[in-house]
Structure 1
């Protein structure tokens, strides 16, 4: 009987969702999003190694500015109320110099081909690395198999190059004290499959203003150099050219002003820095096209946003956190935040999957069943850190709808942190991450434009915009439909957790512990339903309140049945 009731509830939910308030926005975004535009922007941005303040970072900001201007955004002079479509470039003096790579080469003396070059491996130069003399340096390389600081301090390294199969940052201090002129290192995690993708190097950084330079090697270069060193004395010719200079940090912010509640807003954020195509030129390109399309739809009066929609491009986490914290009045009106980070992967090449990283829910504590963390690793989440909100299920269901329409694979992972969604969450604002993982080219210099899929960016852009349009103009019908959706998601999750706990108890686990997991999930969803009350622009209505109350009673009733059976 319980099974029949559950299926009936799920069927009712699907029928309701088939007439979702989001359908009108799906039609607009699917027809209007131009993946060619997103791809062209991505291709422009990925040409550069982007660090805040450097040539590539600033060129990317101004490229986005030109897109906004052509779309009809007006440069803001005083405040956002000057026009329905505004943008501004925020400029801030930088405490430290910016940095950019120019060229580098490592040659083994006597060999006919270079060991490695910047032309093929732009990540070989760590951020903040200085230059060698223009003519380069020539020195003997000393290979260290195991790092034993006390032994290294006794070695004669003056004027030599230290080489180890470790991150060079571990050796920089020792090498400096010992008089070495440079350090060569290697650092590639297993999920990048370095033995298969032998030319990849993940980008890194080093201490600024160091007297000793460091360079990173690919697996192939590391193996070749090690073989030479084991055969006998090996000398290298090293050339490094970088630029280090004072600059200013740029952030660009665009707004589509809401007609009724302009101080309430949905904020999209895409960070510009990092040198990759997917990470994160794809986020920059996708968000730029999302802003262009939104302006087009607004000017043609196909959408009439009642709350403000904000688009932000800047320095990862830094710019988003500053946007939230520097204006406390503005911060109070941020109702949702979304990070677009690595959203364009050609998954056939990268091996990754599109993911929604959820806000902290119980799966971040009890990760079991089909839930799993990525190789990025679990965040430190306890029960007090849980963030019950409809945003998790709403966004995931929007993406699943687009996935079904476009034959697009959509997955999720429990909260892990590490991108522009975290500042929202740290300030009690619902925030999610759209991304791809695991990616064998993550943070490597093989993350180039040939690994980017325009269709993937289109699916992400359609999903993100459809969700935002739905929320910024939500009425009571929207809210009640989402109540049904979240209730059905809750019942599905509770059934899953009940089955897992039932099996765990039969395997000898504590019944009280397993019941607690089900109880926490139930409470999380009950609290998440309550947050829907503030979704309508006109806030809570009797209709929405009644729907929430009815859904809550269903969840609590089903939870009791499960808990009784777990006894």
Structure 2
């Protein structure tokens, strides 16, 4: 008993030391992160409809480069460890042409006001859509309530414009075969509340090099065109101007070299492509300011990173996956990955909440209690896909601390996938996503700078950097404090799951199934505790190993009590 008490006292002292270190990092990031810088970068990037290789995407990359250069990063000549602060722009030829929109307009012949215009709805032109002639085209429009091949075969569509309440890509091939010149369509999910936000259009794409153009309509434009069609035959004048040309794909990578283990690293990733302000100009802007501040603190010797900190901007998933898989020796040193995607939302306007998407834990399989998936939807996670690691709880606790300090709402969701955290996980590297959802303006042309909050970006940037600084220079004290934190989180989760399982059994669920859920959570946390052994930079982990063993025993003891209590 005395040994246990002494060990607990020692652990409490180490925890206090680690907490003080984290608080020092919080002070540096809270005072140093300039949200105006992040906002200005976001405002620059969101002006463009960004597709890899097009002028807006490349302008965004070079804008970030200028920020890095001013901050003290030097262009890498041979390798990334040749200087403490380096950056490089990777250039790759693209197999396919890039694309960018220029202008578009749809007029109902005989009316003075346009049905819809690129000036107000830049998402009306799907990616890869070609151009009409400079003067546009005028043709009769045919509204299709039924869109099967058999129904289309009965209609004369040659030289006409097809209109339906479906995504135009679904009708493209059928319309092409029928001799139509264009397709108008509509596709807005319910969570975007199109009846309320009637001018929104979610961006889309179409098959490249098609002879038939397609355009997307907002709810308001769709309803107006339907009403016009119900009154009889009408004609539309449509003009579309786009650019399609060969280009190269750009990715920019910046590094702050670690002083002890430069080959081990924390990687932040923010994708540039997509046309929105929150998605994902806000990620680009937040990460650029995080890199600038890190350089400032490093040069002032206020931080001394012992592992490398990497910042990456590029094409979503593609650039991150390439960074991981193209250099196997580098990949072995990636210890953590973090995706910044849709991190700047003014939640009062968008309706979203800041979320940390967890690595696959049992909540992705058994989603119950206060856990819930977003409208993005659950991923297909099985028990073999579970990824036990302390990273989930470590990041969530850092964000909660900032939330308490700044009165900032922090939530989480079970794993769903779909952003730059997935390549890390696919390569067995811990990876998390910082984002917001549900957002009524998600992927729409109403996702503009007025929906972005500089304060929200600051909270995300502070949390991300404080966590990264703590991990890249973690010592035994940091690790033992994390053991205590994860153990407490494990016990809290097991208590929650035990109560949920008791209720489930009372409602007729099988006892064996409920015990399996408890046991799976227990194993997940026991395995997560074991991963903390690799956290300290220096491999002196005797104390850490003892702390892990002590915590594991507590978790397993409590698990046994809960399993015996389920009858």
Does residue 29 (structure 1) correspond to residue 29 (structure 2)? The answer is: yes
* CA apart distance, 1:80: 0.8
Give yes or no for contact 1:13–1:484 (8 Å, CA) kept in 2.
Answer: no
Aligned to 1:189: 189
Q: How does 1:146-545 map to 2 (within 5 A)?
A: 146-545=146-545
Deviations 1:148-174 (A, max 9, x none): 211202311010000000000010000
Give yes or no for contact 2:14–2:477 (8 Å, CA) kept in 1.
Answer: no
Cα distance in 1 between the residues matched to 2:259 and 2:337: 20
Cα distance in 2 between the residues matched to 1:490 and 1:346: 33
* CA apart distance, 1:540: 4.8
Deviations 1:452-488 (A, max 9, x none): 0000000000000000000000000000001000000
Q: Any gaps of 5 or more consecutive residues in structure 2?
A: 1-7
SS in 2 for 1:70: helix
SS in 2 for 1:81: coil
* CA apart distance, 1:12: 7.1
Aligned to 2:3: none
524 and 224 in structure 1: CA distance in 2 versus 1, 3 angstrom threshold:
same
Does residue 58 (structure 1) correspond to residue 58 (structure 2)? The answer is: yes
* CA apart distance, 1:61: 0.0
Aligned to 1:3: none
* CA apart distance, 1:14: 13
Cα distance in 1 between the residues matched to 2:425 and 2:455: 29
Aligned to 1:107: 107
Aligned to 2:127: 127
* CA apart distance, 1:20: 4.6
* CA apart distance, 1:22: 1.2
SS in 2 for 1:379: coil
Cα distance in 2 between the residues matched to 1:326 and 1:199: 43
Give yes or no for contact 1:13–1:485 (8 Å, CA) kept in 2.
Answer: no
Deviations 1:353-402 (A, max 9, x none): 00000000000000000000000000000000000000000000000000
Aligned to 1:563: 563
Give yes or no for contact 2:15–2:481 (8 Å, CA) kept in 1.
Answer: no
Q: How does 1:136-147 map to 2 (within 5 A)?
A: 136-147=136-147
SS in 1 for 2:81: helix
Deviations 1:498-545 (A, max 9, x none): 000011111111001001000000000000000000000013511100
* CA apart distance, 1:19: 3.1
Q: Any gaps of 5 or more consecutive residues in structure 1?
A: 1-7
517 and 132 in structure 1: CA distance in 2 versus 1, 3 angstrom threshold:
same
Deviations 1:106-138 (A, max 9, x none): 000011210000000000000000000000000
Cα distance in 2 between the residues matched to 1:174 and 1:185: 14
Aligned to 1:5: none
Q: How does 1:74-93 map to 2 (within 5 A)?
A: 74-93=74-93
Query: If the length of structure 1 is used for normalisation, what is the TM-score?
Result: 0.97
287 and 136 in structure 1: CA distance in 2 versus 1, 3 angstrom threshold:
same
Cα distance in 2 between the residues matched to 1:107 and 1:540: 72
Cα distance in 2 between the residues matched to 1:331 and 1:15: 31
Cα distance in 2 between the residues matched to 1:54 and 1:547: 53
Cα distance in 1 between the residues matched to 2:22 and 2:524: 25
Cα distance in 2 between the residues matched to 1:122 and 1:250: 23
Q: How does 1:1-20 map to 2 (within 5 A)?
A: 16=16, 19-20=19-20
Aligned to 1:116: 116
* CA apart distance, 1:13: 11
Aligned residues: 559
21 and 482 in structure 1: CA distance in 2 versus 1, 3 angstrom threshold:
farther
Deviations 1:280-306 (A, max 9, x none): 000000000000000000000000000
SS in 1 for 2:21: coil
Cα distance in 2 between the residues matched to 1:389 and 1:544: 15
